[in-house]
Amino acid sequence: MPSTKYAFRLAAKNDVGMSAFSAVLSCCTASCVMSPPAPPPPPRLVEAGVTWLSLEWSTPCGTASRDTLSYILEMEEIGSGCGFQPKHRGEEQSCIVKELRRYTSYRFRVSVAGPEGHTVSSAVVDYRTLPDQPGSPGQPSLQGSVQPHSLHVVWEAPEDDGGSPITLYILELSQGDHQWDVVYRGPLRQHVCEGLQEGRWYKLRVYCESLGGQSQVSESLCVQMAPLPPGPCQALHPAEGATSSEISLSWDPPACDGGAAVSQYCVEMAQAVGDSQQQVFQGSDPYCTVGQLLPGTTYLFWVKAYNAAGWGPLSDVCQASTTPGAPEQCSVPNLTLSTCSSVLVTWESPACNGSEVYEFQMEWGVEESALELLYSGSSSQYEVRDLEPATQYYCRVQVQSMLLGQASSAMLPQ
């Protein structure tokens, strides 16, 4: 019968018996009228690349092994409007289609031609190329001014996204030790970095991810955080060697410099808490000597530090005193005539400059260059008797302290 499949097997027989059958042979008789081949299965995707697709296909069902078939692989770019175009023709049952667009969908079908020229096509299937690795994002830049502990970073999307949308940005930060820490991971192209240290240098870089993979990192941004004013100076104390008119002070720099080098110090002084403070020193040295002070007097001192961000707070108060000085010169004593032969001499105690007055000395005489000690004691008056009438006398008073004495003089008219 035409177009009929038959199976055959063969066995041998002799006087002894019959052998086992051979393997089955299947074959088909030819048809009187050639019918077209069955449609082939649609092409299968073996592997996809960025610019290529590897496809393979099977022989149509019911095809005899001896038949020789020719295949045509056709492709259409979706949305191009060009229709199906042949990409392969031959007896091979696989093909790599090259020079395709990245991350683009294509339609494929395979057609088979029989020996009589009949052609049938498979069902249409869609396959897509892979996206490419995206390019690097733009270098991070600052949005607004740098704060002491935070900064607002923005960046541009890569010029080439690799054919698929960017899904993720990763911002990294380094403190200059070649170790990078991720501080942001998300779809936005900006981030506020917080918790940073004032005055410190940082580096920032960004990269992105898409279906095509991970990009290279961007160029790094180097930025220094804004400084803060320094903290209070430490250990303000008087140095050795104070005098009756000078006090030397020294101190330690602030424990926290605010992220910028301390360039100046300022010392302020007052005589009592609540009094207005006056500046007595400004300079770069952590020590100073304050002069033109009163002897035996206690003063209050404060110091503050300065850096590029401004003046820091005043330190704790330091109390220091000048050493006692010699008492001031006594004022001119008052001479009062009691009688024609006696005079009452009185005087006032001068400023002692921190030293205790323990004695007054009064000298008396007819000649100013030859006065003799007439009184020594703690009283502030003395009566001189047995004087010659109508005689000119000279008198002076000196105060004695633990340090030195100062004298004053007066003349008694005739």
pLDDT in tens, 123-154: 999 999 999 999 999 999 999 999 999 999 99
* Residue 70: closest CA among 29, 118, 109, 123: 118
pTM of the model: 0.64
- Residues β-bridged to residue 199: none
d(CA 110, CA 88): 9
> pLDDT at residue 292 above 90?
yes
Mean pLDDT of the chain: 88
d(CA 228, CA 62): 86
Predicted pLDDT at 34: 53
> pLDDT at residue 355 above 90?
no
Mean pLDDT of 270-280: 93
> pLDDT at residue 166 above 70?
yes
Please give the backbone phi and psi of residue 235, each rounded to the nearest 5 degrees, phi first. 55, 50
d(CA 357, CA 351): 9
Q: Is the dihedral of CA 86, 89, 95, 96 positive or negative?
A: negative
Predicted pLDDT at 114: 62
Q: Give the rounded percent of residues in the chain with a pLDDT score beyond 90.
A: 58
> pLDDT at residue 269 above 70?
yes
At 403, is the pLDDT very low, low, confident or very high (cuts 50, 70, 90)?
A: low
> pLDDT at residue 258 above 60?
yes
Angle at 64 between CA 62 and CA 70, to 5 degrees: 95
pLDDT in tens, 102-123: 999 999 999 987 655 667 889 9
> pLDDT at residue 177 above 70?
yes
Predicted pLDDT at 404: 54
Whether the Cβ atoms of residue 55 and residue 95 lie closer than 8 Å to each other: yes
> pLDDT at residue 303 above 50?
yes
> pLDDT at residue 235 above 80?
yes
CA 182, distance to chain mean position in Å, is 14
Please give the backbone phi and psi of residue 370, each rounded to the nearest 5 degrees, phi first. -140, 55
> pLDDT at residue 347 above 80?
yes
> pLDDT at residue 62 above 70?
no
What's the token pair of residue 264? 């100046």
pLDDT in tens, 17-58: 888 888 888 777 765 555 566 788 999 999 999 999 999 998
Predicted pLDDT at 414: 37
Query: Which domains are seen in the chain, by residue range?
Result: 141-224 (2.60.40.10), 234-321 (2.60.40.10), 334-412 (2.60.40.10)
Predicted pLDDT at 15: 83
Mean pLDDT of 72-78: 91
pLDDT in tens, 8-24: 888 888 888 888 888 88
Give the DSSP letter of residue 7.
E
Q: Which residues of 109-145 are buried (b: 16+ CB within 10 A; e: fewer)?
A: bbbbbbeeeeeeebeebebbbbbbbbbbbbebeeeee
> pLDDT at residue 69 above 90?
no
Predicted pLDDT at 153: 97
> pLDDT at residue 4 above 80?
no
Classify burial at 147, counting beta carbons within 10 Å of its beta carbon; exposed 0-12, middle 13-18, buried 19 or more: middle
Outline where DSSP puts E strands in 117-246.
119-121, 125-128, 141-142, 150-154, 168-174, 180-186, 190-194, 201-210, 213-214, 221-224, 234-238
CA 159, distance to chain mean position in Å, is 29
More confident site: 34 or 94: 94
Mean pLDDT of 277-298: 94
Predicted pLDDT at 116: 59
